[in-house]
Amino acid sequence: MSAAAHTRVGNFLRRIPQPAYVVADGQKLLVPTTGNRWRELGQSIAAIEPNKLVAHSADGTALRAITLETGDSEPKASGAETDSELQTFAKLLSDAYEKASKSQQPIIDSAMQFIERLSKRLADTEAELASVRRAYARMIEDQAHERAEAIEASAGASGEAGILDQALAAVAQGALQAQAHQQPAAVAPNGNGHGKRSK
């Protein structure tokens, strides 16, 4: 007899009105009058392992009855019940996982689409930045060429002006020298107070 069946028998025997004897599968068992009578009676009933137990009063009136499971059938029922509970739990877990997957799929799809759009936008931005960098580099290069040409032109103009100034200075110096040769010689004074004209 299992512990659960033993507990059921103990509660069955102690209920009011308490029996004077019990009949276990046709076998009459008197309730002990000394010692721990309910424990002793329970042990006797467990030894018989009856399927049916009937409590009687002293005058033979049936007070109540109870049906007990045998020791062989109880483990089987317990095992079947456990298997059924495990199957139910596995099914509930599978259903919960499936529902969670379906409910989360739209969120996952939206996240993937957002990532794709963001990647495309980053690629476009990088291309635009590269184009801006190339245009800036061309602008700097053009400015450098223009500045170099301006410097060369300025240097050329300065050089030509210097040569012209030198030529004009040379011409002016030559003209001064020619004018100096064309002036008359000075008359030196004599003793008579008259100067002698030079020939």
pLDDT digits (tens, 9 = 90+) for 1-23: 677 777 888 888 888 888 889 89
- Share above pLDDT 70 across residues of the chain, in percent, rounded to a whole number: 69
Q: What is the DSSP letter of 198?
A: P
Q: Is 138 inside a domain boundary?
A: no
Range of the domain at 42: 3-71
How many domains is the chain partitioned into structurally? 1
| Helix, strand or coil, per DSSP, at residue 174 | helix
Q: Is 45 inside a domain boundary?
A: yes
Mean pLDDT of the chain: 75
Residues 24-43: pLDDT tens digits?
888 888 888 887 888 888 88
pTM, full prediction: 0.34
What pLDDT score was predicted for residue 77? 46
Q: Is 102 inside a domain boundary?
A: no
Six-digit token string for 18: 């308490």
pLDDT band at 72 (very low <50, low <70, confident <90, very high): very low
Residue with tokens 């049906």: 67
What pLDDT score was predicted for residue 6? 75
Q: Is 52 inside a domain boundary?
A: yes
C-alpha–C-alpha distance, residues 199 and 6, integer Å: 178
Q: Is 43 inside a domain boundary?
A: yes
Q: Which residue has the higher pLDDT, 160 or 176?
A: 176
Q: Which residue has the higher pLDDT, 137 or 98?
A: 137
Q: What is the DSSP letter of 140?
A: H
What pLDDT score was predicted for residue 15? 85
Six-digit token string for 33: 């009058």
Q: Is 46 inside a domain boundary?
A: yes
Q: Is 198 inside a domain boundary?
A: no
Q: Which residue has the higher pLDDT, 111 or 166?
A: 111
Q: Is 186 inside a domain boundary?
A: no
